[in-house]
Structure 1
Amino acid sequence: MEQLKLTAVVLRAVDYGESDRVVTLLSRERGKVSAFARGARASRRRFGGALEPFTLLAAELRTRPGSDLLTLESVTVRRGFGAIRGDLARIACAGYAAELARELVRDHEPHEDLFELVVEYLGALDVAAAVPAALRAFELASLRIAGLMPRLDGCARCGADVDGARPVRFDPGHGGVLCAACGPAASPGAPALSPDALRALLRLQEGGLAAAAEPLAPAVGREARAALSAFVEHHLGRRLAARRFLDEIGPLLGD
């Protein structure tokens, strides 16, 4: 058996049996891993409240022979991001970010840049209200890390320049925006992007979370949300549970 020391964010915690818990962690060192926390619900002395989602931990684990599931032996909270838990909009955004990160990567594949992105986004939610621009920036950065970045700076079908003065079709099946010539080839239901929405997405794609300081106009935000939601669902093959919850509290987010 191998002993491991990981720095990780709790993405999900699921109760198991009467007293145990299985947690999904995104670690800096080993990427996404799942771990069995024996007695986590029976004794708060061992793990306390450390195994709640959106918690940054220093964790000690060991491997289990013949299993990808690790055993969690001890944890120390590095940062609890406590302000997130007092605001429904922040909870919804953090939950969506955690589920998206969990679904985009395979187990036991290091993704230090995704780990850093999740920590950065949780840190932003911990100190300020949730805003649509930051969530769009997180989506775009996560997709880039997973090798699924939508093309926004040219036609995803033929590579031609896109007319930035007219609306364009955004087709997840083709991988991004389509020029005027390729627009008729868009899949049924492919959303449209106005010039303002396309410029906003390009800005967030290039600038990351730092670019989210400039807010999105409501109409632009709705277009950007629809486009990226369609893109994520196309590549994952389903709508994330956290996306549905996020849609329900949209007015709280100003989205």
Structure 2
Amino acid sequence: MADALKLTGVVLRTVDYGESDRVVTLLTAERGKVSAFARAARASRRRFGGALEPFTLLRAEARERRGADLVSLESVAVERGFGAIRGDLARIACAGYACELARELVRDAEPHRELLRLLVEYLARLDAGPAHPTALRAFELLALGAAGLMPRLGACARCGGALEAEGRLAFDAAQGGALCAGCAPRASPAAPRLAAATLRALARLQEGGLALAGAEPLAPGAGVEAREALSAFLEHHLGGRLASRRFLDEVGPLLGG
């Protein structure tokens, strides 16, 4: 017995299967992360057109068979294609990284409407203009928050006390964020040290989100510190580095300030 499904979501990943089929991972409003089987997706453009491409927002009709790991896609319609992203390497790298991060932060079949809304907003901003590192840092922070992993930046993650206003502070993923001078000796030896000003800038970004990223970009030095610190934080919680990070690092010089 197959149940009909109507889904709205973003294509996070596609994997070709056999000679003509495709397996698609979606982040949907209704079911969270879903893996779907698109029969003959590569053989017939009439059925799916160009909809089954990464970072496409689409509406889909599908069938779910009890006991099956994959739902079967019946038809799709593009809601937003974000076409401008696809003509720019820096934007492609950022969009691919954002989609992989969203995919890795959630488990299957758990709705995450906040994360989906954030991903669509970030893709829309990439579609509208150049990629900027500060916006990607904002996306990372907000995606972590949506997944229940928000790093603590405004107070010590271990004791809750005030952070020093000057100097360099430990940022320990295992402890949950920034550490005050009193708790710093308990930080992992590999924990990065960030300038207090960088932590304050990240705390403002955490609060202001993507809108603040455009109005208050990180200074170059703070941007490098923030990138490495959040990368370490993500690797700790995800158990490794995202595959898309290498491409993102390669096109780094193409990103605006």
Q: Same fold (TM over 0.5)?
A: yes
Task: Tell me the equivalent position of 2:143.
Answer: 142
Distance 2:27 2:41 in 1: 19
Task: Tell me the equivalent position of 2:72.
Answer: 71
Task: Tell me the equivalent position of 2:237.
Answer: 235
Alignment of 1:110-189 (within 5 A): 110-189=111-190
Secondary structure at 1:9 match in 2: strand
Letter in 1 for 2:54: P
Letter in 2 for 1:224: A
User: Which 10-residue stretch deviates more, 182-191 or 82-91?
Assistant: 182-191
Secondary structure at 1:2 match in 2: strand
Counterpart among 243, 250, 253 of residue 251 in structure 1:
253
Runs of 4+ in 1 over 4 A off after TM superposition: none
**Would you say the 8 A contact 2:131–2:256 is kept in 1?**
no
**Would you say the 8 A contact 1:218–1:254 is kept in 2?**
no
Letter in 1 for 2:255: L
Root-mean-square deviation over aligned CA pairs: 0.9
**Would you say the 8 A contact 2:61–2:74 is kept in 1?**
yes
Query: How much has 1:185 moved relative to structure 2?
Result: 1.5
Task: Tell me the equivalent position of 1:49.
Answer: 50
Task: Tell me the equivalent position of 1:4.
Answer: 5
Structure 1: gaps of 5 or more residues: none
Task: Tell me the equivalent position of 1:226.
Answer: 228
Deviation string, structure 1 residues 4-61 (Cα, Å, up to 9, x no partner):
1111100001000000000000011111100000000011111011000010101000
Structure 2: gaps of 5 or more residues: none
Work out the percentage of aligned pairs sharing the same amino acid: 72
Distance 2:219 2:55 in 1: 29
Task: Tell me the equivalent position of 1:32.
Answer: 33
User: Which 10-residue stretch deviates more, 98-107 or 164-173?
Assistant: 164-173
Letter in 1 for 2:233: F
**Would you say the 8 A contact 2:202–2:226 is kept in 1?**
yes
Count, aligned residues: 255
Query: How much has 1:196 moved relative to structure 2?
Result: 2.1
Distance 1:157 1:65 in 2: 45
Deviation string, structure 1 residues 131-185 (Cα, Å, up to 9, x no partner):
0111000000010011100111111111111012222110111110010011121
Give the TM-score normalised by the residue count of structure 2.
0.97
Give the TM-score normalised by the residue count of structure 1.
0.98
Alignment of 1:12-23 (within 5 A): 12-23=13-24
